[in-house]
């Protein structure tokens, strides 16, 4: 099976090989010049709209979906109007960390789970996972990834739900998890008009999560919102969860001798 590879970045864009397909997408943080003197012709380039979303400009016919391997897993790829492809390669190191913390005895909650990379990483080592996302379409996409990885019998509970409403019910049910994972959007909207704004809603959400984790647990918070630096995330987690052993940093995608910064993370353990 073919794989994913970042080939270059610069001038606000990135050049990627996704199995048999080569594409250009936006990379707002790539302020530097391109490393390669000239980029090759690509199959498709994503053009962002000023009103959000965008469209793909195709130079060759591209399949509606195909499968590639990356980070020890298989992913179904689709080119969405928002420029997403279903793979978040900057999470590769976090997936390895999740596998290291997960065991068949552990129950893990993954909020804003999207296409399921973190969910499947935990399921690969036998953990039971509750996967929550407000989009029915991406939950179906995540379940396609479950099948692509031969994890049909894994103990995964797939839920299409507003995260805040789900957490309120979990608190009433006195649920308890061994691990929590979340990758909140800067702004999100649920199917019934619910909204999530990271600057307003992240801390209340973490406080709700504190109420449903066991005294000994692990946590992973990743973020793609400008201004939410590793230090900011560390301060937030420390204020909510108290004295924890944590590590924070930038998520990156390596290519050649360089890396493309692609968000931030904080991971913590309470033992």
The answer, yes or no, to whether residue 119 has pLDDT greater than 80, is yes
Distance CA(24)–CA(142), nearest Å, equals: 24
The answer, yes or no, to whether residue 116 has pLDDT greater than 80, is yes
Residues near 86 by beta carbon (within 8 Å), at least 6 away in sequence? 75, 76, 77, 78, 80, 115, 141, 145
Q: Are residues 233 and 129 in the same domain?
A: yes
Q: Are residues 133 and 52 in the same domain?
A: no
Distance CA(47)–CA(136), nearest Å, equals: 25
Q: What is the pLDDT of residue 187?
A: 85
Residues near 113 by beta carbon (within 8 Å), at least 6 away in sequence? 119, 131, 132, 133, 139, 142, 181
Q: Are residues 99 and 72 in the same domain?
A: no
CATH label of the domain that carries residue 179: 3.40.50.150
Q: What is the pLDDT of residue 188?
A: 80
Q: Are residues 69 and 17 in the same domain?
A: yes
Q: Are residues 54 and 136 in the same domain?
A: no
Q: How far is CA 120 from CA 36, 72, 125, 211, in A?
A: 35, 10, 9, 25
The answer, yes or no, to whether residue 189 has pLDDT greater than 80, is no
Domain of 28, in residue numbers? 4-77
* 144 domain-assigned: yes
pLDDT tens-digit readout, 61-94: 999 999 999 999 999 999 999 999 999 999 999 9
pLDDT tens-digit readout, 200-254: 999 999 999 999 999 999 999 999 999 999 999 999 999 999 888 899 999 999 9
* 84 domain-assigned: no
Q: Are residues 143 and 204 in the same domain?
A: yes
pLDDT tens-digit readout, 14-71: 999 999 999 999 999 999 999 999 999 999 999 988 777 799 999 999 999 999 999 9
Q: Which pTM does this prediction carry?
A: 0.95
Q: Are residues 128 and 241 in the same domain?
A: yes
CATH label of the domain that carries residue 45: 2.60.40.1180
Distance CA(10)–CA(27), nearest Å, equals: 8
Residue 194 pLDDT grade (very low, low, confident, very high; cuts 50, 70, 90): confident
Q: Are residues 70 and 195 in the same domain?
A: no
For the chain, how many structural domains are there in total?
Answer: 2
The answer, yes or no, to whether residue 191 has pLDDT greater than 70, is no
Of 22, 48, 77, the residue at which a domain comes to its end is 77
Residue 120 pLDDT grade (very low, low, confident, very high; cuts 50, 70, 90): very high
């Amino acid at each position: 099976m073919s794989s994913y590879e970042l080939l270059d970045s610069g001038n606000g864009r990135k050049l990627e090989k996704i199995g048999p397909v080569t594409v250009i997408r936006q990379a707002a943080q790539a302020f530097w010049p391109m490393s390669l003197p000239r980029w090759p012709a690509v199959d498709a380039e994503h053009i962002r709209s000023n009103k959000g979303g965008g469209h793909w400009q195709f130079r060759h016919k591209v399949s509606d979906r195909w499968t590639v391997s990356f980070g020890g897993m298989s992913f179904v790829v689709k080119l969405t109007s928002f420029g997403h492809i279903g793979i978040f390669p900057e999470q590769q190191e976090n997936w390895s960390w999740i596998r290291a913390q997960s065991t068949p005895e552990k129950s893990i909650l993954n909020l804003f789970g999207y296409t399921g990379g973190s969910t499947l990483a935990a399921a690969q080592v036998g953990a039971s996972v509750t996967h929550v996302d407000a989009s029915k379409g991406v939950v179906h996409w995540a379940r396609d990834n479950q099948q692509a990885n031969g994890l049909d019998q894994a103990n995964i509970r797939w839920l299409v739900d507003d995260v805040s409403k789900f957490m309120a019910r979990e608190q009433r049910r006195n649920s308890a998890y061994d691990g929590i994972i979340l990758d909140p959007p800067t702004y999100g909207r649920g199917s019934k008009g619910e909204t999530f704004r990271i600057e307003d809603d992240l801390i209340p959400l973490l406080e709700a999560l504190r109420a449903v984790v066991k005294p000994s647990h692990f946590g992973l918070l990743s973020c793609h919102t400008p201004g939410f630096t590793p230090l900011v995330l560390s301060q937030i987690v420390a204020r909510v969860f108290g004295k924890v052993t944590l590590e924070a940093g930038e998520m990156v995608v390596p290519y050649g001798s360089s890396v493309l910064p692609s968000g931030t993370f904080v991971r913590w353990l309470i033992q």
